[in-house]
Amino acid sequence: MSGNTFGKIFQLTSFGESHGLAIGGVIDGCPAGINLDLDSIQLELNRRKPGQSAIVTQRKESDEVIFYSGIFEGKTTGTPIGFAIHNTNQKSNDYSHIKDSYRPSHADYVYDEKYGIRDYRGGGRSSARETASRVVAGAIAKQFLAKVSINAYVSGVGPLQLEMDPSEIDLSKIEMNPVRCPDLKMAAKMEKYIKQIRKEGDTVGGIITCIIKNAPLGLGEPVFEKLHSEIGKAMLSINAVKGFEYGSGFSGTHTKGSEHNDLFNTDGSTQTNRSGGIQGGISNGMDIYFRVAFKPVATIMQNQETINTNGEKVNMQGKGRHDPCVVPRAVPIVEAMTALVLADFLLIKRTNKL
Amino acid sequence: MSGNTFGKIFQLTSFGESHGLAIGGVIDGCPAGINLDLDSIQLELNRRKPGQSAIVTQRKESDEVIFYSGIFEGKTTGTPIGFAIHNTNQKSNDYSHIKDSYRPSHADYVYDEKYGIRDYRGGGRSSARETASRVVAGAIAKQFLAKVSINAYVSGVGPLQLEMDPSEIDLSKIEMNPVRCPDLKMAAKMEKYIKQIRKEGDTVGGIITCIIKNAPLGLGEPVFEKLHSEIGKAMLSINAVKGFEYGSGFSGTHTKGSEHNDLFNTDGSTQTNRSGGIQGGISNGMDIYFRVAFKPVATIMQNQETINTNGEKVNMQGKGRHDPCVVPRAVPIVEAMTALVLADFLLIKRTNKL
Amino acid sequence: MSGNTFGKIFQLTSFGESHGLAIGGVIDGCPAGINLDLDSIQLELNRRKPGQSAIVTQRKESDEVIFYSGIFEGKTTGTPIGFAIHNTNQKSNDYSHIKDSYRPSHADYVYDEKYGIRDYRGGGRSSARETASRVVAGAIAKQFLAKVSINAYVSGVGPLQLEMDPSEIDLSKIEMNPVRCPDLKMAAKMEKYIKQIRKEGDTVGGIITCIIKNAPLGLGEPVFEKLHSEIGKAMLSINAVKGFEYGSGFSGTHTKGSEHNDLFNTDGSTQTNRSGGIQGGISNGMDIYFRVAFKPVATIMQNQETINTNGEKVNMQGKGRHDPCVVPRAVPIVEAMTALVLADFLLIKRTNKL
Amino acid sequence: MSGNTFGKIFQLTSFGESHGLAIGGVIDGCPAGINLDLDSIQLELNRRKPGQSAIVTQRKESDEVIFYSGIFEGKTTGTPIGFAIHNTNQKSNDYSHIKDSYRPSHADYVYDEKYGIRDYRGGGRSSARETASRVVAGAIAKQFLAKVSINAYVSGVGPLQLEMDPSEIDLSKIEMNPVRCPDLKMAAKMEKYIKQIRKEGDTVGGIITCIIKNAPLGLGEPVFEKLHSEIGKAMLSINAVKGFEYGSGFSGTHTKGSEHNDLFNTDGSTQTNRSGGIQGGISNGMDIYFRVAFKPVATIMQNQETINTNGEKVNMQGKGRHDPCVVPRAVPIVEAMTALVLADFLLIKRTNKL
């Protein structure tokens, strides 16, 4: 009810504040018998980790996950997988300036109003640090989904846009550059742009595209829990996300039906894929692709006017080490949430027929 | 699990195929003691009804709702509200041509693959007729939310785009024209364009914008069930929707943090509203607004090549009476789904504090 | 949340008051492809129906179920099955005497306090009439569970107790007598006793035993949703139920571990079955059996002192046609709820392993 | 779905195996603003702890709980409360004898069949050690329920039965003796009996009664989630429980309606309380009481024949330190699960009315 659990069968329940003792979660409903590669889970965490390149926040966080249960002799046992990531970077004195003030376009104010109390240390529960737990669960979901490939990449940074058909991307290039853009020339431009923005003490938004290959036909439930409704919800639950579109998306609204319809090949595949691999909410076996919009990070290194908890005007300047652009580090989060949705629907699909 | 229930406390469970005996649903968790105005529920249904104007499908469906339970002496009793809308327009012979063939960009093919069986009469469960049940439930949710105003309107039809700040729209003009566009000049252009598209036997996509005023602060749960994640999911669950954005949306990705942040007034309101009334997933008391992208209707009155259930190429032409553009009739559906999300979060909010 | 939905995958959402227009429900998550025998569904309803014998209430209710959706050409389609049973016996004037008074040991008083409003016609939502919807859903679950046999029978009426090992009951005798007790001599005694109680204008409690044969091994989830926890919850949700025990039950508390443990045969079956077919919350392939305690019906044909809605003492006498003993008609309800639990766990079991 | 989450609003998700790194859980939906007394949480854990008296298992487990999140400056914040109890007593070599054999009346065999894998160290997930997490969550629920008193006590050990009206028990005597029986003479007899059973290398079952005072009227939802259905489910989910009855229970089935009905006082209270404080599934403001049956612990210190994983007969003798009778240590577990149910319904009740 409080929205800290994601999924229906393959479920992640997440806990933790950015500057508490630990963040972590419980993965329940993961089928028994998966040979878990723990290194590849840590690898996914490292893709999200601060300090991984010159264009992301330089905070030091080791982000090592400890598993408490649910894994035995290298395999999942079907029982819940409890895990924690200890917060080694607890400098609560860094945050004294936000104890009594509300950062603009952050959740501080609404938390105070909603709960009457707020863990003001570094954003508390509203910090994107929480997404590390999602990456852990998503990494396990990926191993369950072994045959399905899920790849996200940066397709927009501020005004710089990558215009390429997602199905024609060379996915091997994504991890070759710190921006995670598969076009290396564009990646270089984006990197340069982000560095400039950072110098200005500013931040910038961006877009992540995700493409899923080899997803089985039949994922998604036809009415309220369409495959794209759940992927959309998953994406919109990531910090800073402002929009989601799949297949032809917003630009498809300009087209006519005669242009937009995907005609069938005799094997049931389609000649075009404006549907984005989903028809009537159900995967049709074609590539699934979608785009996710991220706003610029709200914490900027410039002076801003804001209010304190007494409703008085005060001045505030971002402190600490923050991301000038969130999308490079959000790529593994987009993949993780996608994996959670697909793992869940793959299990639900087992119950569809007699 | 099968995704025919929406909501956590204020819940709609929906049933029904387009050409079965009836569609309907059960609304559970509606608080006791609401004085229901049944006429205004029927009014909402009429806004969605076929045949209401020259630019929508001319099918005849009376769409009269019967309530079976949960209402006593004009008030909700706290027990589940069962209801049905009988299908008076069952002409199953109309649909013989799609029994053995798969309409392009429809759900026919994936249903057969997923379930091994498909009610082929007029789209069956995948028909947008199902949304009538949502409108009934949404109309009741609206009455529960009496103080909150929820207004959707058409802001795009094919290439025609209304560029207006949602907070400055004259909402009283929406229902003054068959397109449901609040700018009457633009509405006339859109109407003309839709008529032309229809003449071509074609269809066109569009965009609906929705604005919520007077929503209480504190709606939405901060992690997986953010207010905008649930609204996004709700919108993406509507037939033909391809995208969702709120606040600054996709265009916000081009901006810098220093441009995008909403600075506070001393009363906690904000000077700008790029956040779209939601910060950290929680409503902040400002207007909430979002945009929803609808693809062109897949059924066109032109000849299309497709395949039959044996995987052989066949020709198909749309029959019957279909919408050339879905957005005018989708306006009440967008409002209904929005109302369901808000009603649910309003009840959940009651459980936040000691 | 309001508790009108039962089950997690195979779900029944129920609606309806005893004297409203109709009762009914939505069965969601029923797998596609089941050849439904509609007659056997009606047969189950007839086993629950008033007026079926001389020892049950003589109310006239036709209890005919109409299916609105989810069934096509005789098969389930995987979409929700909406259904209704119209109330043909609406004589609301019969109930004027309880409009302003609270019947002892009924739910009238707590409904008024909880909801601030109450449909006072014949018990409204608290009437056992609601269980007809459960019987419909249970009858469909039974067809899904074709290989599993679920048989309930009356094992106690007031002081009359049937002491037989459930696994040795001749199940074919249950339906041979109006009490539904498989020992025909005991059945005759019970019948006589019930008639005598009725003459006194009184009512009496009883016990139903249920035995499940051929349930697959592995049903039930090991911690909070053990097989017996969910069966227990299901039973305790039936009107008038006061207790539940399975396997050795309450009498097992008197034994020692050395007497109680079930030793294995080499095929994994057990030599004894004090576990009642469930170990650690999971079915082990042996017969599952349990007992359910029903209190005497609260409506008696004797004068009782009670209070009215103003808190004043008033006299009340039961009117209309009521059951002197509820257990004969509760047998199909016990079976139906059992079938719902098993169907749900059978589907969940499909998701346990890689 | 996998049943490791309990509750709908106030939720516990539990994880952990008896001999893994840690057990623990996430408490979600706990309202913000509760001043938590952490000592009293540890006190509840100590009531459940091994080694607390001469009649329970002498295993050494420190059972110290660490809270990771959701608590700030001594108060709940409304965000999820993650916690762990590290297993300090991991001697996996103790359990080599059960790696390849199935203990009679334990869950070993069904786990292997259900999941294809089993953490064989000391019962793994099926160990009652898991209930420590429930006690933590229940202790927090108790603090939320400050005005409600929940007291469980031992009312039966093997053949020794305490026959007292639960409403007349002197609750202050429960914790005065190691059996947790409020009649000190009976407690002494029970203690002596348990010691004798232990000498025999055997175990014995028992009964726990629980009484709730000052529960608000209106808890429980009227159909599938009656107050007693959920309490019953909660109790039946505790290891070794075989039965549940509330109010008049099984013995009430012998009575007549004229004897059983609880007549009203003018203030809405009742002159008798055979209903056990619940009518129509909803609390009526009277004391709520119920009884829970526990079978004898399956692990005995006697030689037993059993089978190994190859289906061959083998001999087995219990090793280690086990409880001769589980009920003294189960008292805080019964209270904890009761508290979780009540906390959940108290929050749900806030959503009942306009």
Q: Residue B297 has which token pair?
A: 């209707």
Residue C224: its pLDDT value, please?
Answer: 98
Q: Does residue C144 contact residue A354 with C-beta atoms inside 8 Å? A: yes
> Mean pLDDT score of chain C, rounded to an integer?
95
Q: How many whole angstroms separate alpha carbon A269 and alpha carbon A263?
A: 9
3-state secondary structure of B324: coil
- What residues of chain A lie within 8 A of the CB of C351, using their CB? 9, 29, 31, 347, 350-351
Angle at D63 between CA D61 and CA D65, to 5 degrees: 160
> D62-78: b or e for each residue (b if 16 or more CB lie within 10 Å)?
ebebebbbbbbeebbbb
Assign D321 a pLDDT band (cuts: 50, 70, 90).
confident
Q: How many whole angstroms separate alpha carbon A314 and alpha carbon A312?
A: 6
Closest residue in B to D345 (Cα) is B351
Distinct helix (H) and strand (E) counts, chain C: 8, 17
Closest residue in B to D346 (Cα) is B351
3-state secondary structure of A144: helix
Q: Do the domain assignments include residue A354?
A: no
Residues written for chain C: 354
Strands B160-161 and B101-102, how do they pair?
A: unpaired
Q: Does residue C197 contact residue C301 with C-beta atoms inside 8 Å? A: no
- Of residues B91 and D278, which shows the higher confidence score? D278
Angle at B91 between CA B86 and CA B96, to 5 degrees: 135
- Is residue C290 packed enough to be buried (19+ CB in 10 Å), middle (13-18) or exposed (0-12)? buried
pLDDT higher than threshold 90 for residue A317: no
Assign A54 a pLDDT band (cuts: 50, 70, 90).
confident
What is the dihedral sign for C-alpha C354, D6, D12, D14?
A: negative
Residue D319: its pLDDT value, please?
Answer: 72
Residue C233: its pLDDT value, please?
Answer: 98
- What residues of chain C lie within 8 A of the CB of B133, using their CB? none
Q: Do the domain assignments include residue B295?
A: yes
- Strands ordered across the beta sheet of B22-28: B5-6, B11-15, B22-28, B81-86, B65-67
A101 - beta bridge partners? Answer: A308
Closest residue in C to B76 (Cα) is C117
How does DSSP classify residue B353? B
What is the dihedral sign for C-alpha C172, C175, C179, C180?
A: positive
Contact C2 B80 (CB under 8 A): yes
Q: Does residue B196 contact residue B169 with C-beta atoms inside 8 Å? A: no
Helix (H) or strand (E) holding A303, with range, is strand A303-308
User: Closest to A352 (Cβ–Cβ): which among B115, B217, B266?
Assistant: B115
Residue B94: its pLDDT value, please?
Answer: 64
Residue A159: its pLDDT value, please?
Answer: 97
Structurally, how many domains does chain D consist of? 1
Distinct helix (H) and strand (E) counts, chain B: 8, 17
Q: How many whole angstroms separate alpha carbon C231 and alpha carbon C245?
A: 10
- What residues of chain A lie within 8 A of the CB of D79, using their CB? 2, 4, 15, 17, 119, 124-125
Average pLDDT over residues C271-289: 98
Average pLDDT over residues D60-84: 95
User: Closest to A352 (Cβ–Cβ): which among C1, C78, C144?
Assistant: C78
Closest to C152 in 3D by CA, of C133, C136, C171, C126: C171
Q: Do the domain assignments include residue B308?
A: yes
A32 touches chain C (CB under 8 A): yes
Amino acid at C316: M
D162 touches chain C (CB under 8 A): no
Q: Does residue A299 contact residue A97 with C-beta atoms inside 8 Å? A: no
Contact C282 D104 (CB under 8 A): no
Q: Do the domain assignments include residue C354?
A: no
Q: How many whole angstroms separate alpha carbon C98 and alpha carbon C80?
A: 37
Chain B: partners with 3+ C-beta pairs within 8 Å: A, C, D
Q: Does residue D41 contact residue D136 with C-beta atoms inside 8 Å? A: yes
Q: How many whole angstroms separate alpha carbon A166 and alpha carbon D14?
A: 41
3-state secondary structure of D195: helix
Q: How many whole angstroms separate alpha carbon D186 and alpha carbon C316?
A: 44
Residues 49-88 of B with CB under 8 A from D: 76, 78-79
Looking up tokens 């080899």, which residue turns up? A214
Q: Residue D127 has which token pair?
A: 């160990």
Amino acid at B14: S
Q: Do the domain assignments include residue D230?
A: yes
User: Closest to B28 (Cβ–Cβ): which among C5, C115, C119?
Assistant: C5
D112 touches chain A (CB under 8 A): no
Reported as a single tens digit per residue, the pLDDT across B273-321 is 999 999 999 999 999 999 999 999 999 999 999 999 999 999 987 777 7
pLDDT higher than threshold 80 for residue A28: yes
Q: Does residue D218 contact residue C113 with C-beta atoms inside 8 Å? A: yes
> A6-28: b or e for each residue (b if 16 or more CB lie within 10 Å)?
bbbbbbbbbbbbbbbbbbbbbbb
Reported as a single tens digit per residue, the pLDDT across D110-157 is 999 999 999 998 889 999 999 999 999 999 999 999 999 999 999 999
Assign C338 a pLDDT band (cuts: 50, 70, 90).
very high
Give chain B's radius of gyration (CA, Å): 21
Residue B321: its pLDDT value, please?
Answer: 77
Residue C17: its pLDDT value, please?
Answer: 96
Q: How close is the nearest chain D Cα to the Cα of C234, in Å? A: 7
Average pLDDT over residues A74-86: 97
What is the dihedral sign for C-alpha B223, A161, B211, A227?
A: negative
Q: Does residue A124 contact residue D79 with C-beta atoms inside 8 Å? A: yes
Reported as a single tens digit per residue, the pLDDT across A252-279 is 999 999 999 999 999 999 999 999 999 9
Contact A224 B5 (CB under 8 A): yes
Average pLDDT over residues C78-103: 84
C-alpha distances in angstroms, B294 versus A260, B135, B161, B331, D205? 12, 18, 13, 11, 64
Contact D13 A5 (CB under 8 A): yes
Amino acid at C338: T
Angle at A233 between CA A231 and CA A235, to 5 degrees: 70
Residue C3: its pLDDT value, please?
Answer: 95
pLDDT higher than threshold 60 for residue C92: no
Q: How close is the nearest chain D Cα to the Cα of C282, in Å? A: 7
Domain range for D35 is 5-349
Give the CB-side neighbour count of residue B323, counting CA atoms within 13 A.
29
Q: How many whole angstroms separate alpha carbon B255 and alpha carbon D323?
A: 66
Q: How close is the nearest chain B Cα to the Cα of D287, in Å? A: 24
Assign A149 a pLDDT band (cuts: 50, 70, 90).
very high
Q: Do the domain assignments include residue A205?
A: yes
- Of residues D53 and C213, which shows the higher confidence score? C213
Assign C317 a pLDDT band (cuts: 50, 70, 90).
confident
Closest residue in A to D115 (Cα) is A32
D225 CB neighbour count, 10 Å cutoff: 24
C179 touches chain D (CB under 8 A): no
Reported as a single tens digit per residue, the pLDDT across C16-37 is 999 999 999 999 999 999 999 9
Q: How far apart are the first and last CA of chain B?
A: 31
Average pLDDT over residues A72-91: 91
Reported as a single tens digit per residue, the pLDDT across D231-275 is 999 999 999 999 999 999 999 999 999 999 999 999 999 999 999
User: Closest to B250 (Cβ–Cβ): which among A158, A267, A293?
Assistant: A293
User: Closest to A28 (Cβ–Cβ): which among D5, D23, D117?
Assistant: D5
Q: How close is the nearest chain C Cα to the Cα of B295, in Å? A: 25
Average pLDDT over residues C329-350: 98
Q: How many whole angstroms separate alpha carbon C134 and alpha carbon C10?
A: 12
Average pLDDT over residues C2-9: 97
Q: Ranked by mean pLDDT, which of B51-60, B86-95, D10-19, D86-95 comes out on top?
A: D10-19
- Strands ordered across the beta sheet of C81-86: C5-6, C11-15, C22-28, C81-86, C65-67
C166 - beta bridge partners? Answer: none
Q: Does residue A334 contact residue A152 with C-beta atoms inside 8 Å? A: yes
Residue A334: its pLDDT value, please?
Answer: 98
Looking up tokens 């999602």, which residue turns up? A134
- What residues of chain B lie within 8 A of the CB of A24, using their CB? none
Q: Do the domain assignments include residue C98?
A: yes
Q: Residue A142 has which token pair?
A: 């990926």
- pTM, two decimals, is 0.98
Strands B303-308 and B241-246, how do they pair?
A: unpaired
> Mean pLDDT score of chain B, rounded to an integer?
95
Q: Which of B140, B144, B225, B350 to mutate to test the interface with D (most CBs of D within 10 A)?
A: B350
Alpha carbon C119 to its chain's center = 23
Closest residue in B to A225 (Cα) is B3
Q: Do the domain assignments include residue B181?
A: yes
Residue C90: its pLDDT value, please?
Answer: 63
Assign A318 a pLDDT band (cuts: 50, 70, 90).
confident
User: Closest to C300 (Cβ–Cβ): which among D202, D257, D302?
Assistant: D257
Contact C2 B21 (CB under 8 A): no
Residue A92: its pLDDT value, please?
Answer: 54
Q: Which of B9, B347, B351, B353 to mutate to test the interface with D (most CBs of D within 10 A)?
A: B351
Residues written for chain D: 354
3-state secondary structure of C319: coil
C234 CB neighbour count, 10 Å cutoff: 30
User: Closest to C296 (Cβ–Cβ): which among D125, D206, D255?
Assistant: D255
Residue C91: its pLDDT value, please?
Answer: 61
CATH number of the domain within which C278 lies: 3.60.150.10
DSSP H helices in B59-130: 96-99, 108-115
Contact A28 D2 (CB under 8 A): yes
Q: Residue B40 has which token pair?
A: 């205004």
Reported as a single tens digit per residue, the pLDDT across D178-215 is 999 999 999 999 999 999 999 999 999 999 999 999 99
